[in-house]
Amino acid sequence: MKLFAFRHSKVVLCLLLAASFGLSGAAQDQSAPDTLLLADGNTLHGKLVKEIGGTVTFHTDSLGDLDVPWAKVKELHTGENFAVLNKNLKTRSKAAVDKLPKGRLDATSESVTLEGAAQPIPAKDAQVIVDQATLDKELNHEPGFLQGWNGAVTAGATLVRATQNQSSFSAALGLVRTVPTVSWLDTRNRTSADFNSSFGRITQPAYRVGGVTIPAATTKSSILHFDAERDEYLSSRIFALGQAAFDHNYSQDLNLQQIYGGGLGWTVVKKINQEADLKATIQYEKQSFITGAGAANQNLIGSTFSADYLAKLKFVTFIQNIEYIPAYNHPHAWSAEETDALAFPAWKNLGFSLGTLDSYLNDPPATLPPTKRNSFQFTMGLSYAFKSKY
């Protein structure tokens, strides 16, 4: 009896050890590094990061991230699951991409084969290859409040000390976050915020002429603008939006203009390096002026018709916004605005920017000296671009 129990325990122990080694071997196969065989015969072991537009990004511990064109890839094998976004995929929406086959990948310079897929995909049609974990994060999750933001902050200053003393300062901050945070999926929502300001002062010190004291005189300028917008995409090109905007312009006697509205937008151009949107809203607008009172301050019902354009070139980024703001209950109280900005990268995240802000207010109150309806501002300064990771 004791002999039987001893033999029985030995059999169980052997089975447990065999299972343990089998699981260990399976785990090792699952965690085996990806393999990239180049056309020149070199072999790299590491991890496939992604492939976008014919460029394979492959990571190795010794060399970091390497970008390799498809033409230089002889073979590529992965141990983890990937998805391939075919050039012929009609929509990049969540529902469409979620149905794509996912599996281990074997590829050559000619074709890409996914484990479990019906047939290989020509390499020239494989616009995007991404791992399943990244795809799931972009499709099914939202960034935290402080994640996924892209933007830039700009500051400039001018100081003059002569017969007159002059000081001027300008600052700007632009933020935008799109979800998903990658360009190869259709946008579900977009949040943006912009702030720019400029303040200037010219001081003429007091002086005496023929025994008469001429008092000191000060002239100042102050322009502030802030806007925020939330877009919810109804399709790949059409979106509903809500927005708020606030403007102050001392030179136009405008104490505060407030706008709250909502409407629809249409992405007319959507490419990797450029985008153009047309928008129309219905809104409530309130204008209050510095010296004006009573009838000068108005509550308006109107719209904002706007066009936004963004172009990313090799050495410069151009941003333009044009707005026409009519008022339906007081037709004379319309306004318009154009903002243009050029950003030049210099070193790492630092750059140099030029910008203009041209605003027209059709209904400023009567003041002395007379208030001009048009206000033009030119700024330049150092900028710092940043990108929040997700």
How do residues 61-70 score in pLDDT, each as one tens digit? 999 999 999 9
In terms of domains, do 126 and 161 share one? no
Domain holding 321: CATH number?
2.40.160.40
- Side chain identity, residue 170: S
Band the pLDDT of 292: cuts 50, 70, 90: low
In terms of domains, do 128 and 40 share one? yes
Question: Which residues in 250-297 belong to E strands, given as ranges?
Answer: 254-270, 274-289
User: What is the rounded average pLDDT for all residues in the chain?
Assistant: 88
- What residues form DSSP beta bridges with 263? 241, 281
In terms of domains, do 331 and 203 share one? yes
The reply to whether 23 falls in a domain is no
Q: Taking the chain, what is the end-to-end CA distance rounded to the nearest angstrom?
A: 64
- What residues form DSSP beta bridges with 364? none
Band the pLDDT of 293: cuts 50, 70, 90: low
In terms of domains, do 163 and 47 share one? no
Mean pLDDT on 125-150: 93
pLDDT score of 7:
46
Check residues 31 and 279 and name the one with the higher pLDDT: 279
In terms of domains, do 115 and 185 share one? no
Residue 178: which of 168, 192, 167 has the closest Cα? Answer: 192
The reply to whether 91 falls in a domain is yes
Q: What is the pTM of this model?
A: 0.84
Q: Say if residues 248 and 228 touch (Cβ distance below 8 Å).
A: no
Mean pLDDT on 292-319: 88
Band the pLDDT of 51: cuts 50, 70, 90: very high
- Say how many domains are in the chain: 2
Supply angle C-alpha 114, 117, 120, rounded to 5.
Answer: 65
Check residues 116 and 272 and name the one with the higher pLDDT: 272
3-state secondary structure of 137: helix
In terms of domains, do 128 and 171 share one? no
Domain boundary among 140, 169, 199: 140
Nearest-angstrom CA–CA distance, 160 and 164: 8
In terms of domains, do 196 and 123 share one? no
The reply to whether 193 falls in a domain is yes
Domain boundary among 108, 140, 172: 140
The reply to whether 4 falls in a domain is no
Return contacts of 175-179, CB within 8 angstroms, 24+ apart.
175/149, 175/150, 175/151, 176/149, 176/150, 176/151, 177/143, 177/148, 177/149, 177/150, 177/388, 178/148, 179/142, 179/143, 179/148
The reply to whether 187 falls in a domain is yes
The reply to whether 210 falls in a domain is yes
In terms of domains, do 185 and 131 share one? no
- HSE, side-chain direction, 13 A CA sphere, residue 22: 6
In terms of domains, do 175 and 321 share one? yes
Nearest-angstrom CA–CA distance, 281 and 369: 35
Band the pLDDT of 295: cuts 50, 70, 90: low
CB atoms inside a 10 Å sphere around CB 99:
7
The reply to whether 10 falls in a domain is no
In terms of domains, do 231 and 288 share one? yes
Phi, psi (degrees; rounded to nearest 5) at 348? 55, -120
In terms of domains, do 135 and 154 share one? no
Phi, psi (degrees; rounded to nearest 5) at 135? -60, -45
Domain boundary among 89, 107, 140: 140
In terms of domains, do 271 and 382 share one? yes
Supply angle C-alpha 233, 234, 235, rounded to 5.
Answer: 90
pLDDT tens track for 101-130: 889 999 998 999 998 787 899 998 999 999
CB atoms inside a 10 Å sphere around CB 83:
22
The reply to whether 21 falls in a domain is no
Mean pLDDT on 363-370: 80
Domain range enclosing 246 = 150-387
pLDDT score of 31:
60
